[in-house]
Structure 1
Amino acid sequence: MPQAANYSPIISLISSVRLGSYRITFRSVDECELYGIYIWSQHAAASIYPLLQNLEISLRNAIDKEARARFGERWWERIQSTRDRGDCHFHKNIEKAKDCLTREWLKKERRRRRGTRVEHLQVPVWTHDQIIAATDFSTWHHVLNNEYSSPVPAENQRYLWPKSLGKVFINYAKINPNQQRVRKNLTDLIFELREYRNRISHHEPLWVKSPNVNNARAAIDTIREKINKIELVIEALDINLLNIMRKVGLFDNARRVCSLDELAIYRYTKPFCSMTPEQMHVIETHCWQAKQKNETIIWRNNNTVYGLRTIR
């Protein structure tokens, strides 16, 4: 059993500062439980990643699709801004994406040419789609800024916002029916979720640290609040995307993993369900198959798919 293992050498390989927040927040009783909580947090992060990835890609493509329809290829060169483009974070990010493409191309050419100088070579002209794909999440947060919003209705055609707001965020009224205020709400939400994505990418704790977040329930509540906000922004983008993500189980999976019940499995404190010998006999073959083949056994009941797999 995992509880019988010696966890001291393993714990020593993890930063004591990093584990300190786990000890304080989740109040682990021993090193076995502490390591279980640490592993649970990694599973929790993995369950949230698809939600954030869908949000980032869908937001990027929704803005690009609408802007391209209005302003054409390389629309960022045509949209009006109330500030000089060199001072706008969005345009800086576009240039950064081009530079990244060029650096990667030069690196590959050096490798292909076995280290010979390649600076004299003609760099490819990057396509619209290549540039868009090379941008980071912050690009699509910055393009929502006020400098891309028309200061007067007479100039709406030259600016991205507010004319394109209802085409990009089809259901923006779910957040705020006031079109003049909702872009600020969206900007704040997307900035918050982008920062959260960065926390996950840097392996920082998933929960929001604050004086009142001092136990497992409070910590998990802050994680589930982030899941709710991701769901809200995706609904504002497109209800069809939200429905598909729900149908394939992305939100249910994240909420299942980010729960006290799931945490209890990794703390070795969740009780086993009681089963009769007859019930055990029914599933015994499937349990053996799940263990021997290390796979999830699935079945359908009333149009719902269930799974059976080994946990440890």
Structure 2
Amino acid sequence: MDPSVQASLSAGDVERWLSKPRADRYLAHCSGDLAQGLELYFWNSRLAAAAFSDTCHLEVALRNAYDRELSARFPDWAIDSGSRLFTRTQGHPNAARKQVEMNRRSEQALADARRGLGASPTHGEVVAATTFGFWTRLTERDRASLFWNPMLSRAFVDSPSRPHIHELVSRINRFRNRLAHSEPVFSSRTGLHDRLHDVETLLGHISPKISAVVRASSEVPAIMATCPVPTLV
């Protein structure tokens, strides 16, 4: 940033922009120095954008891997009004009741994805419009017999367990949301290194080759090396 432009901002300007609690999180790492705090803020934005890009590569790979397995048994499930994918239940009554509610949430998420896509969206358009959370909920424990065992377990090359995959996807989903909302990602609480390792691990379960390409193309390491407060990373 041009120093003269940055110098035109007062502490009050920054607080009105970021809010005092958010601004204070950056200033706390810079001994209250406003200029360095802003530099840290912009660096964090670049880092978050790069990390978000990596998670998006993972999201595309995951939803396509899951869609291939779902479509093998329920063709065009995203647009087929007659598909039984989200009407099935199995097991004892308590499990079935939970599954009904999970199915209802999934059907609502699909309806939300179709909204704004026109009168006759394609299967691919709807799949691409679904949220990460939609896919995360497909591997919940009470859905194991309906989704994981017969279909989604086949989306991975090395036979990982359902709890392992569900935990990975859930953590990445929370991390992705943090990135999307411009939250600080440099703190130990955020676990930046751990979450990026989760992305690499999950991609490796889908395709080791894809995981290697995404890792090699990531801009995160180069941006991390330019942190204005080196002790943070």
Q: Same fold (TM over 0.5)?
A: yes
Aligned residues: 215
Q: CA deviation at 1:105?
A: 5.7
- 1:184 partnered with 2:186: no
Aligned mate of 1:22, from 23, 26, 48: 26
The within-5 A match list for 1:146-161 is: 146-150=141-145, 159-161=146-148
Structure 1 residue 164: Cα displacement: 3.1
CA distance in 2, matches of 1:51, 1:244: 11
Distance 2:123 2:108 in 1: 12
Contact 1:66/1:164 (<8 A) preserved: yes
- Counterpart AA for 2:36: E
Read off the aligned partner of 1:160 and give its amino acid letter: F
Quick check: 1:40–1:263 contact (8 Å CA) kept in 2? yes
1:100 to partner: Cα distance:
4.7
Offset, 1:242: 1.0
Q: Does 1:167 align with 2:167?
A: no
Match of 1:49 in 2: 52
Greater fraction of residues in helix: 2
Q: Which residue of 1 aligns with 2:222?
A: 256
1:21 positional shift: 1.6
Distance 2:209 2:117 in 1: 37
Give me the whole-angstrom Cα distance separating, in 2, the residues matched to 1:51 and 1:78. 30
1:295 match = none
Q: What TM-score results when the alignment is normalised by the length of structure 1?
A: 0.60
Equivalences for 1:1-312 in 2 at 5 Å? Answer: 2=3, 5-8=7-10, 10-12=13-15, 13-24=17-28, 26-74=29-77, 77-78=84-85, 80-82=88-90, 83-84=96-97, 86-88=100-102, 91-102=104-115, 104=116, 124-150=119-145, 159-173=146-160, 182-208=161-187, 210=189, 222-247=191-216, 249-250=217-218, 253-258=219-224, 261-264=225-228
Provide the residue aligned with 2:93 in structure 1: none
Gaps of 5+ in 1: 107-123, 151-158, 174-181, 211-218, 269-312
Higher relative contact order (CA 8 A, sep 6+): 2
Instruction: Give me the TM-score of the superposition, normalised by structure 2.
Output: 0.79
Q: CA deviation at 1:95?
A: 2.8
Aligned counterparts of 1:63 and 1:51: Cα–Cα separation in 2 = 19
Structure 1 segments (4+ residues) deviating >4 Å: none
- How much does 1:196 deviate? 1.1
Cα RMSD after superposing both structures? 2.8
**What amino acid maps onto 1:5 in structure 2?**
A
SS of residue paired to 1:77: coil
Distance 2:176 2:32 in 1: 30
